[in-house]
Chains A and B, each alone.
Chain A
C-alpha cells in the first residue's frame, strides 16, 4: 500500500471500469459458455437438414423466417466474436500485440470485426 492508503479497494463490477482488453476477455468467456449451450440446437438443425428433403426444407424455412434470421445472426455474432477474440488470444500467445496500445487496439478490432461479419452476412444472405 504505502504512499496512498485512500485508494478505493473494491471489485464490484458495477463500480470499477474495466478496460476494453478486460471486456474482450470476459466476453470471450461469455460467448464460449453460450456457444456450448447453443451447440445442441445447431446439432438438431444439422441432423434435420440431413435427414430427408422435407427436413431440409423445414430447416431452410425456419432459418429464413424473421425469428430464425434474428436468432441465426445472433448465433453468428457469438461465433464471430469468439472466433476473433480467440484469434487475438492466439496472437498474444506468440507475443503479438502485447504492448498496451496494441492490445487495446486489438480488442477494439475484435469487436469491430465480429460486428462487421454479422452485418456483412446479414446483408448478403
Chain B
C-alpha cells in the first residue's frame, strides 16, 4: 500500500473549486437571461440586434460571461488532464496548449466586444 503523499488531484485546489462554482452560477444565470430575453423578443433585424448588444449593461454582462466561460473551461479541462494524464510531460503540454488556446480566445472576445462599441 502506498503512503499518503502530496499528490495533486483534480479537486485539491480550493481556489479552482470556488472559481468553477461561481463561474458556473454566473453562466447559468446569464444563459437563462439571454434565452428568455431572445425568446420573448427575438431581434427582427441587424439594428435591433446591435441596439440590444450595444447597451452598456448587456455588453458588461457578455464580458463577464466570456471571462467566466474561459475560467470555467480552464478549471474543467485541468481536472480532466489531472485525472486522465498520468505523465508529467503530457500534462504540461496539454496545460500549455490549453492556456494558449484560452488566452487567444480571451483576446478574440475582447476584440469582439470593443468592435461593437459605437452603435450600429
Residues of A participating in the B interface, judged by any CB pair closer than 8 Å:
29, 32-33, 35-36, 39-40, 43, 46-47, 49-53, 55-57, 79, 83, 86-87, 89-90, 93
Contact = CB atoms under 8 A, between A and B. Distances in A.
Contact of A29 (B25, B50, B80): B80
A56 B25 contact: no
B46 A43 contact: no
Contact of A40 (B50, B79, B105): B105
Interface residues of B, number: 23
Interface string B74-101: 0011011000000000000000000000
**8 closest pairs, A vs B, by CB?**
A56-B46, A53-B46, A32-B76, A36-B73, A50-B116, A47-B112, A86-B24, A43-B108
Given A46-B112, A83-B31, 14 more contacts: A29-B76, A29-B80, A32-B80, A33-B80, A35-B73, A36-B77, A39-B105, A40-B105, A43-B105, A50-B50, A51-B115, A52-B46, A86-B28, A90-B25
A49 B43 CA distance: 11
Nearest to A86: B24
Contact of B49 (A39, A43, A56, A79): A56
A87 B105 contact: no
10 contacts: A29-B80, A39-B73, A39-B105, A51-B115, A55-B46, A56-B46, A56-B49, A79-B31, A83-B28, A86-B24
